[in-house]
Amino acid sequence: MSTVVSEPTEIAPSPAAVRADGTPRSYAVRTFGCQMNVHDSERLSGSLESAGYVRSDSDDADVIVINTCAVRENADKKLYGTLGALAGVKRERDGGMQIAVGGCLAQKDQHTIVEKAPWVDVVFGTHNMGSLPALLERARHNDEAQIEILEALETFPSTLPTKRDSASSGWVSISVGCNNTCTFCIVPTLRGKEKDRRPGDILAEVQALVDDGAIEVTLLGQNVNTYGVEFGDRQAFGKLLRAMGEIDGLERVRFTSPHPAAFTDDVIAAMAETPNVMPSLHMPLQSGSDRVLKAMRRSYRSTKFLGILDRVREQIPDAAITTDIIVGFPGETEEDFAETLRVVEASRFSSAFTFQYSIRPGTPAATMEDQIPKAVVQERYERLVALQERLSLEENEAQIGRRIDVLVSVGEGKKDTATRRLSGRGEDNRLVHFALPEGAEEPRPGDVVTVGVTAAAPHFLIADDTSGYSVRRTRAGDAWDRRQAESCGVPAPSSAGAARQVGLGIPTIRTA
Ligand code: SF4
């Protein structure tokens, strides 16, 4: 693969990031929406920290950034509710606070946000996240709201500095935007046509994450497996997966979300033949009815979908496959819904994100006739959830007795303290709660333990078989130790030479 690398986007220190007494101003980012938004927020944090702001995470922060989502239901109510609550906080702070709104809903509503909430200082879109520090500075200097929305991508967001939330795992964007036109989806309108990142940039960012201690990477794209469409290589995604296998120290590779229409056998082969590509696959079904798929403008049909799953399982027998399903799309009949139940039963997903269809203004489906009454959607939804809960439980029960490797996470289980268990993710991405043997050394987040599965629930596994329990201390665990030490202001000896927490998206410049 080409190893040409783009120049990183540099963010200059901003005078607006410093209080009158010389101390740095603080910021907090609140994220609504999907994984793309979570990753975008890491870049917003990185840009702000490069400009000189420090993280706070509380409502007392000097700058509150809301990264919005227009895909989820009631997105605007959630935004204006949050802004309403912040209005009072800002009034009490008497000019000491700024509020910025970015992301998909900002791209869509633009001036409406400042009309409805005139106490907002900055509105920016999905294409110019790196402008946030400059816009905050201008808003402060001019004492008026700054609205800057670009219709096309200014710079590929991954060249922006990134402040990662996890020491062991990182998100790496390989493309943004989407060339499809699914009739329920606002993404093509708000994020534009697919833009693919150069392979050299992707590999360089992954290498930089690994050098910084990460052992797991998730490749992100709205339509991840059409990667390469922009530079005319239909097999580019499979090649990229294989290239991930060459990166020393990278133990777990995942990706989300692929589109069934473009899911080709070379990708399945690359998954099966690249040892660090994990046996998990998120494959959005949306509907099992061919008639509804056509109305959704999803260009695969149920037979093709099930055929992909068969071929994945032939080559990767332990693959855990998850999905997204929408219930109650306009015009969905009882027969259509029965098709969805049939395909779900046959697919044996290990879990599913199930959604009740609701109108998203601006999408073609919003104005379709035959919108389904809420009560009908609800009743179908409950039947689908009941079916999927049974399947999830059966699929998880089939894991009992297996010995599995779990990447320890930072507290994923609410009851962990009460049950004295720790949590993490198996290779197939299942959530696992596990017990420690009496007197055993506690693994750090980022370490990998081997445990035996003893029980199952629809949404997690319990692994209390401690015979043969082992811990493998990893570089990710070391990176977690460093972060802990640095957050207490104590430089950890092992951090010498390692990048500080604000890593650039690509490795040519380090902040160390
Ligand atoms: S593939 Fe369809 S659902 Fe996914 S982002 Fe593109 S238009 Fe939206």
Which CATH number is 468's domain given?
2.40.50.140
Residue 306 lies in a domain: no
Within a domain: 356: no
* 431: pLDDT strictly greater than 60: yes
Give the chain's mean pLDDT.
87
Q: How many domains does the chain have?
A: 2
At 189, is the pLDDT very low, low, confident or very high (cuts 50, 70, 90)?
Answer: confident
Residue nearest to ligand 1 atom 8, measured at CA: 185
Residue 50 lies in a domain: yes
Query: Would residue 435 count as lying in a domain?
Result: yes
Inter-residue long-range contacts of 56-59, CB under 8 Å, 24+ positions, other chains counted:
56/26, 56/27, 56/28, 57/28, 58/28, 59/28, 59/86, 59/89
User: What percent of the chain has a predicted confidence (pLDDT) above 90?
Assistant: 58
Pocket test for ligand 1, best of 35, 176, 178 (most atoms within 8 A of CB): 178
Determine, yes or no, domain membership for 17. Answer: no
**Domain-embedded: residue 449:** yes
Question: Ligand 1 pocket, 484 CB below 6 A?
Answer: no
CATH number at residue 45: 3.40.50.12160
Q: Which atom in ligand 1 lies closest to the alpha carbon of residue 297? A: 2
Whether 84 is covered by a domain: the verdict is yes
The residue segments making up the domain with residue 460 are 403-473
Ligand 1, atom nearest to 298 Cα: 2
Q: How far is 496 from 505, CA to CA, in rounded Å?
A: 20
Confidence class for position 160, pLDDT limits 50, 70, 90? low
Those residues whose C-beta lies under 8 Å from the C-beta of residue 454, and which sit 6 or more positions away, are 400, 462, 463, 464, 465
Q: Summarize pLDDT for 253-300 with one digit per residue, the tens.
A: 999 989 999 999 999 999 999 999 999 999 999 999 999 999 999 999
- From 126, 148, 170, the end of a domain falls on 148
Residues with Cβ < 8 Å from 493, sequence gap 6 or more? none
Residue 126 has a pLDDT of 78
Domain assignment present for 318: no
* Entry field: residues in the chain: 512
Output the CA 208–ligand 1 centroid distance in Å: 30
* Number of C-beta neighbours around residue 68 at 10 A: 27
Domain boundary, last residue among 125, 148, 171: 148
Q: Which of 106, 127, 148 is the last residue of a domain?
A: 148
Q: What is the residue with the minimal CA distance to atom 1 of ligand 1?
A: 180
